[in-house]
Amino acid sequence: MTTAIIVAAGKGTRFGPDRDKLFFEVAGRPVVAHTWQRFDDSPMIDHIVMVVRDEMESTFETLARTYQFRKPFTIVTGGKERQDSVWNGLEAAPSNTTAVAIQDGARPCTHLSLIEATIS
């Protein structure tokens, strides 16, 4: 089983204190929804772990319903630093995971061919 860990637990303040880059709308969707969609569409990915900020779990559950992502997913809270968030994602991966792809939630332009090449 291959699991994608999408790290979306940062503060995302580069756009200013009141604008979260993960939820900046591009082509009718938040950036993070585009990122999630790429991995949801990949035939190489079996499960997705979304690592999110504390108290954002319901927001990401709503994203999953709104955009009808099909793959099984787990939502887990991130840590103090990025490395802690990645660790939390690894800990939440299904026990039969044999390969992991880690992606920044604010990087929506990863092509399916790159995901496939990376997993291969």
Mean pLDDT value across the chain: 93
Closest CA to 104 of 27, 14, 1, 18: 14
How much is the pTM?
A: 0.92
pLDDT tier at 14, thresholds 50, 70, 90: low
pLDDT tier, 48 (very low <50, low <70, confident <90, very high otherwise): very high
**Cα distance between residue 39 and residue 10, in whole Å:** 19
DSSP reduced 3-state for 7: strand
pLDDT tens sequence across 50-98: 999 999 999 999 999 999 999 999 999 999 999 999 999 999 999 999 9
Q: Answer yes or no: are the C-beta atoms of 84 and 78 closer than 8 Å.
A: yes
Angstrom distance (rounded) from CA 73 to CA 6: 11
* Average pLDDT, integer, range 20-48: 95
Pair 119, 39: CB distance under 8 Å: no
Largest CA distance in the chain: 40
Helix (H, G, I), strand (E, B) or coil at 48: strand
